[in-house]
Chains A and B, each alone.
Chain A
Amino acid sequence: MRFSSLASRFLAISALWSVIALVATALLLTALYKNNAQKNFNELLTAHIYNLMGAVDLDKNGKVTGNPNLGDPLFQQPFSGWYWSVTPKNASTGPHLNAIKSASLVDATLQTPDSKKVQFVDGFLRSFQMQGLNGESLTVVEAQIILGEGDDVYRFLVAGNNAALDLETREFAQNLILFLALFGLGMVISTFAIIKYGLRPLSRAKEALNRIRNGEAEQLEGEFPDEIAPLVNEMNALIDANKTVLERARTQVGNLAHALKTPISVLQNEARSTDSPLSRKVEEQVVAMHEQVQRYLDRARIAAQAGSINARTPVAPVIERMVRVMQRLNPNLQYEQLMDGPETLIFRGEQQDLEEVLGNLLENASKYAHKRVQISVQKGEVPDSRKIAPMLELKIEDDGPGLTKEQRIEALKRGRRLDESRPGSGLGLSIVNDIVSEYHGAINLDDSELGGLKLIIQLPAADY
């Protein structure tokens, strides 16, 4: 049998052990109780023997006489299983020897085993089990003493019905089983509680991992017990190492690609300065080289992006910086920012990507604007396939000439695929489009109230 959870493993082991322990306890206690009860029963019967011996004597004719009253009316009831008798050891030694017995025996005699089989302790007292007259189970105590002046040995016998003993033992066992069953149930419940409480740090660790996936945390946070703390630390170290490796890979690809750009510049300019078949060939090849370099740079960026799970970027500082940069590049334009609760706007993604989107779009808007460029950010919600995902809505508007409906459709189409784009073609939306679609966002174009184009970008938001 396989158990998929730790809790069910613990529960199964604990339940199994409870059953074994409790059954063993029940058997042992019942046996002990029965033993003890038997001892008490024997003592009771022995006490009856002494009573009997005190109440019986020989009369002057040498006859056994006496009217013992052992207090229990069952000794009067025929074949009740409670008997007493006083008989001479050897009835054959003389007809003068008589016997007396309880009324319950009526006219019957109990056939006791031979003294060789069950010996008298110190030649005086013995105890044994035997079958009664009605087939009932009996406990018998028998003593042999000499009565009178002679040496005639009499045997005093008291028998008790074991039914009483059995009933008592059964009642005890029933109570015991009921009690132990309750006890066992309690144990299982408390085990369950212990597991629940004891394994809670694990579910907290699960929640912490979830937070990382949702981009709400960069590390597993919180206090963990000594047993899990090393695991949590290892996980955090792994997350860090992962980040470092990605960062290094990204840097190295970047360094290589960027290092190639200076020689490409030189070749390109050198080729353009003369006009010959060679220079045309060189120029053509240089353009191809640059496209390759650019493609690998973009790919490295996208690969790095896919690996990062925990980026959170506050939007307002990025917008402020980009606007400051744009203002410096285009001192004649007027930039306006509109943000709802700037500090609550958080992009679930990398700062570089947000800068890339904003930089390209603002640069575009600045190129076409007459006087004004407006950027506004709002929080919104977009129904995802499974749940309502919080989104950021960025609008970038200008007061330039704008685009017709057909041009807008064309601009979006052209930005669709990386391979189709050429530097400086269309609206340069391709890189923006790539980034936005990586984040499962959306781009829309519309007319702006300022008179020009309005770009509407939706990107995932993180909780404030």
Chain B
Amino acid sequence: MRILVVEDDKDLNRQLVESLTEAGYVVDMAFDGEEGHFLGDTEPYDAVILDIGLPEMDGISVLEAWRREGKTMPVLILTARDRWSDKVSGIDAGADDYVTKPFHVEEVLARIRALIRRSVGIASSEIEIGPIRLDTKLSRVTVDGKNIKLTSHEFRLLSYLMHHQGKVISRTELVEHLYDQDFDRDSNTIEVFVGRLRKKLATDLIETVRGLGYRIQPAEDAV
């Protein structure tokens, strides 16, 4: 899951990036509206955290520009203004949710998790497919109730496939969503991670669709 943080306050930006990274997300950051707009326009993000009061181009304008250009990723706005008239203008501009300052980073994490789940149509904070259970809140994976230790790359890969269960995900898409913009993109590494995941999970749930990519099929009894 790849997330963009657009916040001009360097400390707040850093705090958000650190917490998101710790929670297993790939994070890009921008410190002004123009940079934020450019990144959101050119890179595929699974969610965006956008401050309203930004230099160069304010958050509302950035958001409106994205929506005009057909970008549909979920956007969480950060606003110091806690009056409803301010929240309404943010949501009218195309935001999916808001958090008012001052906030605890945990609050932002919870909202982002919910937004990503909502954008792919998953209702619960735990995704279960067959014996595999992914807890998005705790970033934890269990198989048949047993804890599985995964590296952050492995966790991101599994999380992305499970969030998009039933769909065939190309290697390019995986690379775009699992690495930040500065990563040297080599889709062959994906193959390595898939192999390791299959071994650790000890199931054959991850299918390889020849020439297209990978897929996790939802189990009959799964959501």
Interfacial residues, chain A to chain B (CB-CB below 8 A): 254, 257-259, 261-266, 268-270, 272-273, 286, 290, 301, 321-322, 324-325, 328-329, 331-332, 351-352, 355-356, 358-360
Find out whether the CB atom of A262 lies under 8 angstroms from the CB atom of B97.
no
Q: A257-B80, A286-B102, A328-B96 are in contact. List 20 more A-B contacts (CB 8 A).
A: A258-B53, A258-B80, A259-B80, A261-B80, A262-B80, A262-B101, A265-B102, A266-B12, A268-B102, A269-B12, A269-B15, A273-B15, A322-B88, A325-B88, A325-B92, A351-B85, A355-B88, A356-B85, A359-B88, A360-B84
Q: Which residues of B contact A258 (CB under 8 A)?
A: 53, 80-81, 101
B173 within 8 A of A: no
Taken together as a complex, chains A and B put the C-alpha atoms of A257 and B100 apart, in Å, by: 13
B167 within 8 A of A: no
Query: Contacts A262-B9, A269-B104; is A359 near B15 (CB within 8 Å)?
Result: no
Q: Which residues of A contact B91 (CB under 8 A)?
A: 325, 328-329
Query: Contacts A329-B91, A355-B88; is A262 near B104 (CB within 8 Å)?
Result: no
Find out whether the CB atom of B87 lies under 8 angstroms from the CB atom of A265.
no
Interfacial residues, chain B to chain A (CB-CB below 8 A): 9, 11-12, 15, 53, 80-81, 83-85, 87-88, 91-92, 96-97, 100-105, 118, 123
Taken together as a complex, chains A and B put the C-alpha atoms of A358 and B92 apart, in Å, by: 16
3 closest A-B pairs by CB: A359-B84, A258-B80, A261-B101
Taken together as a complex, chains A and B put the C-alpha atoms of A356 and B96 apart, in Å, by: 19
Pick the residue among B15, B84, B101, B103 that contacts A355 (CB under 8 A). Answer: B84
Closest partner residue, chain B, to A297 (CB atom): B82
> From residue B124, how far is it (CB to closest CB) to chain A in Å?
13
> From residue A96, how far is it (CB to closest CB) to chain B in Å?
131
Q: Which residues of A contact B81 (CB under 8 A)?
A: 254, 258
Find out whether the CB atom of B11 lies under 8 angstroms from the CB atom of A266.
yes
Pick the residue among B11, B15, B85, B102 that contacts A261 (CB under 8 A). Answer: B102
Find out whether the CB atom of A270 lies under 8 angstroms from the CB atom of B84.
no
Closest partner residue, chain A, to B96 (CB atom): A328
Find out whether the CB atom of B102 lies under 8 angstroms from the CB atom of A264.
yes
| 13 A-B contact pairs sorted by A residue (CB < 8 Å) | A261-B101, A262-B12, A262-B53, A262-B80, A262-B102, A264-B101, A266-B9, A266-B11, A266-B15, A325-B88, A325-B91, A351-B85, A355-B84
Q: Which residues of A contact B85 (CB under 8 A)?
A: 351-352, 355-356
> From residue B18, how far is it (CB to closest CB) to chain A in Å?
8
Taken together as a complex, chains A and B put the C-alpha atoms of A262 and B88 apart, in Å, by: 20
Q: In this complex, which of B88, B100, B105 has the most chain A Cβ atoms within 10 angstroms of its Cβ?
A: B88
> From residue A297, how far is it (CB to closest CB) to chain B in Å?
8
Query: Contacts A262-B9, A325-B87; is A290 near B104 (CB within 8 Å)?
Result: no
Q: In this complex, which of B12, B80, B123 has the most chain A Cβ atoms within 10 angstroms of its Cβ?
A: B80
Find out whether the CB atom of A290 lies under 8 angstroms from the CB atom of B102.
yes
Taken together as a complex, chains A and B put the C-alpha atoms of A264 and B100 apart, in Å, by: 12
Taken together as a complex, chains A and B put the C-alpha atoms of A257 and B84 apart, in Å, by: 16
Taken together as a complex, chains A and B put the C-alpha atoms of A329 and B94 apart, in Å, by: 11
> From residue A371, how far is it (CB to closest CB) to chain B in Å?
13
> From residue B117, how far is it (CB to closest CB) to chain A in Å?
12
Taken together as a complex, chains A and B put the C-alpha atoms of A324 and B12 apart, in Å, by: 31
Taken together as a complex, chains A and B put the C-alpha atoms of A359 and B105 apart, in Å, by: 24
Taken together as a complex, chains A and B put the C-alpha atoms of A257 and B12 apart, in Å, by: 17
Taken together as a complex, chains A and B put the C-alpha atoms of A108 and B32 apart, in Å, by: 134
Taken together as a complex, chains A and B put the C-alpha atoms of A360 and B84 apart, in Å, by: 8
> From residue A282, how far is it (CB to closest CB) to chain B in Å?
13
Closest partner residue, chain A, to B16 (CB atom): A269
Taken together as a complex, chains A and B put the C-alpha atoms of A266 and B123 apart, in Å, by: 31
Taken together as a complex, chains A and B put the C-alpha atoms of A259 and B84 apart, in Å, by: 18
> From residue A373, how far is it (CB to closest CB) to chain B in Å?
16
> From residue B111, how far is it (CB to closest CB) to chain A in Å?
10
Q: Which residues of A contact B102 (CB under 8 A)?
A: 261-262, 264-265, 268, 286, 290
Closest partner residue, chain B, to A362 (CB atom): B84
Query: Contacts A259-B80, A265-B103, A286-B102; is A321 near B92 (CB within 8 Å)?
Result: yes
Taken together as a complex, chains A and B put the C-alpha atoms of A263 and B88 apart, in Å, by: 24
Closest partner residue, chain A, to B118 (CB atom): A331
Q: Which residues of B contact A263 (CB under 8 A)?
A: 9
Closest partner residue, chain B, to A358 (CB atom): B84
Taken together as a complex, chains A and B put the C-alpha atoms of A82 and B172 apart, in Å, by: 146
> From residue A258, how far is it (CB to closest CB) to chain B in Å?
4
Find out whether the CB atom of A265 lies under 8 angstroms from the CB atom of B101.
yes
Find out whether the CB atom of A356 lies under 8 angstroms from the CB atom of B84.
yes
Find out whether the CB atom of A356 lies under 8 angstroms from the CB atom of B80.
no
> From residue B80, how far is it (CB to closest CB) to chain A in Å?
4
Q: In this complex, which of B84, B88, B103, B118 has the most chain A Cβ atoms within 10 angstroms of its Cβ?
A: B84
Find out whether the CB atom of A270 lies under 8 angstroms from the CB atom of B15.
yes
Q: In this complex, which of A258, A268, A351 has the most chain B Cβ atoms within 10 angstroms of its Cβ?
A: A258
Taken together as a complex, chains A and B put the C-alpha atoms of A352 and B85 apart, in Å, by: 6
Taken together as a complex, chains A and B put the C-alpha atoms of A324 and B92 apart, in Å, by: 8
Find out whether the CB atom of B104 lies under 8 angstroms from the CB atom of A321.
no
> From residue B66, how far is it (CB to closest CB) to chain A in Å?
15
